[in-house]
């Protein structure tokens, strides 16, 4: 999927003895989005923006050992090693020595000829790493200006970590003109070193430059056009994050010192065998405990009391990604943890006062957001017609952020219908969910509409479920539970096989529980999302429900 950017100049930070000027160059292909202000919370912003940088450059995928040097040495000494192994002497050895001498002369001549090339290549990579380090990465962060805050969003290189930094307007002083919207910014990774120079005794001017939109032909040479061919997995993963945020979670608060202890254990110990997980032991009214495997080291959190009603034990993998939070410990008030379940995504929200930092982690490092979750399939699925969806989106754009309940009240619509419309826009990249404030926000991920049909059926299970429903191979039996949830049971015929899926949909139209008799469910449970039979059962019930409403209206 190709994204086109055009930047008016380049993002830069100018640091002096008394002031620091940060000017971000926005994408000129976007609607005008700009902001001017002076930072009032310098240190907290410095640590938070540095943590966001750590998310951008994070890549914890397995990297095999580089054996290139050994293979070159083995190739150069192959004949000599062969002679030693076969213990040949005499004329053969003399001939080999002569050939080796000729090869040495040829190698020296080749090295002399190629020396200027290798030196130029090294200088280029040194320059790219020091000056234009963003060439080493695939995407610049997304920045959004809203009436109540400015926030950055980014994805890690391994696509398993999501970072969001939200800055309320209390972070700034002397705020100038601003225009709400979303844009991609030219965010060179070399800026990280400049961010470290931010101090309380210096004034820091924060600018998303509005002059970049005053385009003149004579200045065309100053503009930089960039075309980035992004993999569908990156876009798909970005869309899955908002869907996962809307699902029910086990939530609790951790004191900053407890997060420090977590990072301290990971720094001091290096696992060589599995399991490589951390278990959160949750007992109502008692301090939270963390158990680090494989050492079975228990670390109590005496400052963090679990206030939930039910005891639980949840395991989290890919724990070394939590070291991103280490820089936030000195400036954080608390960390709110949201866990979907063992092996499922987790979210850590750092409360920095007027700033919030959200770190979203997939189930484990190798299980990135694109392939692993498919959490849009578990999100509210109430179908809304095009007119209703447009009404909901325009109402959201009016204030730029709102809860589903307030939108439903304002528009006089059922809340499930509003959440279904918002979920559809989230999968189109036009809406995101703010986990800290529990509101939906208008955020256009790209200038041009995303190919929703292409992205929607990235999951073959949903496409298969649609085929089963269209072929009328699904029978549904609904049952309302005492707590207000809806239980669906029935059968799904696929060829000569018949399966018996069951699921429970809560009052927010989300899948709370689900089981099936198929092989996919027994192998993966819900860690990779629901199987096609569970999805077909839900789709068939929705169709039947909407058909009944249509007959009633007639």
Residues 448, 471 share a domain:
no
Nearest to 152 by CA among 355, 327, 302, 318: 355
Beta bridge partners, 511, equal 505
Residue where a domain terminates, one of 434, 454, 474: 454
Residue where a domain terminates, one of 395, 427, 454: 454
**229 domain-assigned:** no
Count CB-CB contacts under 10 A for residue 511.
Answer: 24
For the chain, the maximum distance between any two Cα atoms, rounded to a whole number of angstroms, is 103
Q: Which helix (H) or strand (E) holds 527?
A: none
- From first to last of the 554 residues of the chain, give the pLDDT tens digit: 544 545 455 555 566 666 666 666 555 555 677 788 888 898 999 999 999 988 888 887 766 676 777 777 777 777 666 666 665 556 666 777 777 777 777 777 777 777 777 777 667 656 554 544 444 444 567 888 999 999 999 888 787 889 999 999 999 988 887 888 887 766 665 677 777 888 888 888 887 765 543 333 333 344 344 444 455 666 777 777 877 888 888 999 999 999 999 999 999 998 888 788 999 999 999 999 999 999 999 999 999 999 998 999 999 988 999 999 999 999 999 999 999 888 788 999 999 999 999 999 987 776 555 454 455 555 555 567 788 888 999 999 998 999 999 999 999 998 888 988 888 888 778 888 999 999 999 988 776 666 555 555 556 887 888 889 889 999 999 999 888 889 999 999 998 899 999 999 887 667 888 999 999 999 988 887 889 999 899 888 877 764 444 344 34
Residues 463, 449 share a domain:
no
Q: Give residue for tokens 């800055």.
A: 167
Residues 432, 409 share a domain:
yes
Domain that holds residue 390: 380-454
Count CB-CB contacts under 10 A for residue 353.
Answer: 13
Q: Which helix (H) or strand (E) holds 183?
A: strand 181-186
Q: Each residue of 220-248: b (16+ CB within 10 Å) or e?
A: eeeeeeeeeeeeeebbbbbbbbbbbbbbe
Return the pLDDT at 120.
76
**269 domain-assigned:** no
**415 domain-assigned:** yes
**13 domain-assigned:** no
- Distance from chain centroid for Cα 360: 6
**For 234-295, what is the HEC assignment?**
HHHHHHHHHHHHCCCCEEEEECHHHHHHHHHHHHHCCCCCCCCEEEEEECCCCEEEEEECCC
**546 domain-assigned:** yes
**237 domain-assigned:** no
Residues 448, 463 share a domain:
no
| Helix, strand or coil, per DSSP, at residue 405 | helix
Return the pLDDT at 547.
44
* Length of the chain counted residue by residue: 554
For strands 502-505 and 486-494, give the pairing: antiparallel
How far apart CA 345 and CA 359 sit, in angstroms, is: 11
CATH number at residue 414: 1.10.10.10
Return the pLDDT at 482.
83
Supply the pTM of this predicted model: 0.71
Q: Which helix (H) or strand (E) holds 17?
A: none
If one counts the domains in the chain, the total is 3
**536 domain-assigned:** yes
Q: Which two tokens stand for residue 61?
A: 């995928």
**For 124-177, what is the HEC assignment?**
HHHHHHHCCHHHHCCCCCEEEECCCEEEEEEECCCCCEEEEEEEEHHHEECCCC
Return the pLDDT at 477.
93
**522 domain-assigned:** yes
HSE-CB for 527 with a 13 A CA cutoff:
15
Residues 444, 411 share a domain:
yes
Return the pLDDT at 423.
83
């Amino acid at each position: 999927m190709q994204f086109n950017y055009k930047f008016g100049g380049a993002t830069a930070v100018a640091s002096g003895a008394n002031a620091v000027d940060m000017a971000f160059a926005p994408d000129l292909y976007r609607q005008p989005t700009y902001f001017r202000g002076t930072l009032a919370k310098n240190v907290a912003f410095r640590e938070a923006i540095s943590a966001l940088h750590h998310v951008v450059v994070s890549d914890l995928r397995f990297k095999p050992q580089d054996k290139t040097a050994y293979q070159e040495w083995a190739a150069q000494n192959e004949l000599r090693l062969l002679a030693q192994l076969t213990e040949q002497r005499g004329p053969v050895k003399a001939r080999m020595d002569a050939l080796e001498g000729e090869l040495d002369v040829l190698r020296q001549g080749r090295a002399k000829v190629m020396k200027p090339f290798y030196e130029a290549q090294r200088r280029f990579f040194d320059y790219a790493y020091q000056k234009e380090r963003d060439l080493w990465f695939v995407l610049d962060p997304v920045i959004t200006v809203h009436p109540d805050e400015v926030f950055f969003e980014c994805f890690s290189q391994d696509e398993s970590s999501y970072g969001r930094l939200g800055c309320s307007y209390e972070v700034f002083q002397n705020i100038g003109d601003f225009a709400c919207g979303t844009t991609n910014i030219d965010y060179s990774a070399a800026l990280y070193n400049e961010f470290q120079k931010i101090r309380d005794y210096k004034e820091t001017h924060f600018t998303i430059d509005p002059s970049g939109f005053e385009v003149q032909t004579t200045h065309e040479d100053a503009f930089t056009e960039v075309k980035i061919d992004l993999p569908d997995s990156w876009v798909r993963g970005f869309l899955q994050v908002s869907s996962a945020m809307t699902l029910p979670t086990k939530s609790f608060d951790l004191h900053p010192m407890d997060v420090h202890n977590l990072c301290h254990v990971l720094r001091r110990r290096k696992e060589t065998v599995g399991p490589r997980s951390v278990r959160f032991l949750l007992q109502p009214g008692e301090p939270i405990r963390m158990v680090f495997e494989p050492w079975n080291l228990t670390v109590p959190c005496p400052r963090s009391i679990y206030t939930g009603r039910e005891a639980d034990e949840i395991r989290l993998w890919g724990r070394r990604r939590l070291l991103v939070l280490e820089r936030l410990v000195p400036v954080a008030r608390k960390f709110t943890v949201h866990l979907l379940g063992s092996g499922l995504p987790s979210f850590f929200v750092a409360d920095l006062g007027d700033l919030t930092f959200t770190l979203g982690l997939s189930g484990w490092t190798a299980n990135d957001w694109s392939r692993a979750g498919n959490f849009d399939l578990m999100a509210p699925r109430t179908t809304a017609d095009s007119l209703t969806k447009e009404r909901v989106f325009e109402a959201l754009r009016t204030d730029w952020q709102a809860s589903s309940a307030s939108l439903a009240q304002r528009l006089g619509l059922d809340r499930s219908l509003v959440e279904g419309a918002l979920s559809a826009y989230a999968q189109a990249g036009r809406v995101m969910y703010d986990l800290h404030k529990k509101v939906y926000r208008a955020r256009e991920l790209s200038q041009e509409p995303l190919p929703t049909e292409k992205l929607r059926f990235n999951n073959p299970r949903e496409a298969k479920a649609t085929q089963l429903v269209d072929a009328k191979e699904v029978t549904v039996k609904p049952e309302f539970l005492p707590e207000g949830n809806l239980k669906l049971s029935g059968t799904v015929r696929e060829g000569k096989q018949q399966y018996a899926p069951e699921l429970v949909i809560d009052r927010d139209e989300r899948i709370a529980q689900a089981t099936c008799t198929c092989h996919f469910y027994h192998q993966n449970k819900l860690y990779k999302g629901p199987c096609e039979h569970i999805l077909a059962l839900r789709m068939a019930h929705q169709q039947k429900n909407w058909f009944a409403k249509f007959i009633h209206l007639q």
